[in-house]
């Protein structure tokens, strides 16, 4: 019972994410032949070459990649993949004729691409944030990484590049440009869901006048500071709200015009 209460919400979210992904494919991506990589993109290409419905192609792809994951990845990654490998093709099949129910104007394909990218980012973000691995063509990258020592990012890039290139060959170069926009939007939204929107910056500051820098941070900005080393040019780390950043940068340059600092987004701060 405890395990059920713990994991049921995760699997409900996984189910919802796959339902949205299937609707996104059949309602938005498929009507404009948006080949954006992954199983849906490959399904559009195969369906173009062979007279088979995209829902059938998606099912075939998921069956094949599931078998490959069993052979090459092992049992430790199978539970989430098994579930997704069943429900996503099922939802694709059930929503195959959704355009008969929901009528869209597909003249503005760029707007459709943006909406599809946002929905893709939401579904991927939900899946990854709840600790599930991707299924379908996404399992090819871990297989290549495990057995050929290719990094997962490079393997994903190669697989998706091949699929998108095939999409450009069969559907025109415009589809490649739309696919790039789709992937960028999807990645941005996905990362925002996983990490959240950054409201803070973390600065690592190096200055010979580090004592004046620390005094500025404490007295004017009331920020806790961390000295990373004790030397002639100590490194000072500080986390501050985004809206303070430009003012602090100018103040630092006023103190030391040779100051060196790096800035990164900070997604979580705990005392």
The answer on pLDDT for 149 being more than 80 is no
d(CA 97, CA 103): 11
Q: What is the mean pLDDT of residues 169-185?
A: 92
> 145: pLDDT confidence band, cut at 50, 70 and 90?
confident
Helix, strand, coil distribution of the chain in percent, nearest 5: 70, 10, 25
Condensed to tens digits (0 to 9), the pLDDT of residues 99-114 reads: 999 888 889 999 999 9
d(CA 67, CA 143): 12
Percent of the chain beyond pLDDT 70?
Answer: 92
Q: Which two tokens stand for residue 39?
A: 């199983």
Condensed to tens digits (0 to 9), the pLDDT of residues 113-135 reads: 999 999 999 998 888 888 776 77
Architecture of domain 200-266: 2-Layer Sandwich (3.30)
pLDDT at 271: 61
Query: Which among 32, 45, 39, 84 is positioned nearest to 58, based on CA atoms?
Result: 39
What's the pTM?
Answer: 0.78
pLDDT at 176: 93
d(CA 34, CA 113): 8
Residue ranges of domains in the chain: 2-195, 200-266
Q: What is the mean pLDDT of residues 17-37?
A: 94
């Amino acid at each position: 019972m405890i395990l059920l209460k713990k994991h049921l919400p995760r699997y409900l979210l996984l189910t919802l994410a796959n339902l949205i992904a299937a609707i996104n494919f059949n309602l938005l991506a498929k009507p404009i032949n948006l080949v954006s990589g992954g199983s849906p993109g490959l399904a559009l290409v195969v369906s173009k070459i062979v007279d088979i419905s995209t829902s059938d192609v998606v099912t075939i792809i998921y069956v094949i990649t599931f078998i490959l994951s069993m052979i090459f990845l092992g049992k430790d990654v199978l539970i989430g993949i098994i579930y997704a490998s069943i429900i996503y093709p099922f939802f694709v099949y059930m929503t195959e004729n959704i355009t008969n129910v929901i009528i869209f104007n597909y003249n503005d394909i760029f707007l459709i691409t943006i909406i599809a990218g946002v929905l893709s980012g939401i579904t991927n973000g939900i899946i990854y944030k709840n600790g599930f691995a991707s299924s379908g063509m996404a399992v090819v990258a871990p297989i290549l990484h495990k057995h050929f020592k290719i990094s997962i990012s490079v393997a994903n890039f190669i697989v998706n590049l091949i699929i998108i290139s095939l999409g450009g060959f069969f559907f025109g170069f415009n589809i490649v440009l739309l696919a790039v926009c789709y992937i960028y939007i999807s990645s941005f939204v996905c990362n925002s869901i996983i990490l959240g929107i950054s409201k803070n910056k973390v600065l690592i500051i190096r200055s010979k006048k580090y004592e004046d820098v620390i005094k500025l941070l404490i007295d004017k900005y009331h920020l806790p500071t961390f000295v990373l080393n004790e030397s002639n040019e100590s490194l000072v780390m500080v986390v501050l709200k985004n809206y303070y950043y430009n003012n602090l940068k100018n103040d630092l340059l006023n103190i030391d015009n040779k100051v060196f600092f790096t800035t990164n987004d900070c997604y979580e701060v705990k005392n």
